[in-house]
């Protein structure tokens, strides 16, 4: 059971990071905290 939570947390972090990279590439002004908050809310 611990393994499932460990991997799901890892996948969530990877998804958030991918979202942040996309935000950085499409935004003229990039704020890492705003981007992280936005991605966590959307995911």
Would the pTM count as exceeding 0.85? no
pLDDT digit string, tens, across residues 5-42:
666 888 889 999 999 999 999 988 889 899 999 999 98
Q: Which pLDDT score is estimated for 33?
A: 92
Is the predicted pLDDT of residue 3 greater than 70, yes or no?
A: no
Instruction: Decide: 35 and 23 in contact? Cβ < 8 Å.
Output: yes
Q: Which pLDDT score is estimated for 4?
A: 59
In the chain, % helix, strand, coil (3-state, to 5) comes to 85, 0, 15
């Amino acid at each position: 059971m611990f393994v499932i939570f460990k991997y799901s947390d890892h996948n969530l972090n990877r998804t958030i990071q991918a979202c942040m990279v996309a935000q950085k590439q499409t935004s003229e002004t990039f704020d890492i905290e705003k981007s992280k908050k936005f991605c966590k809310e959307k995911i």
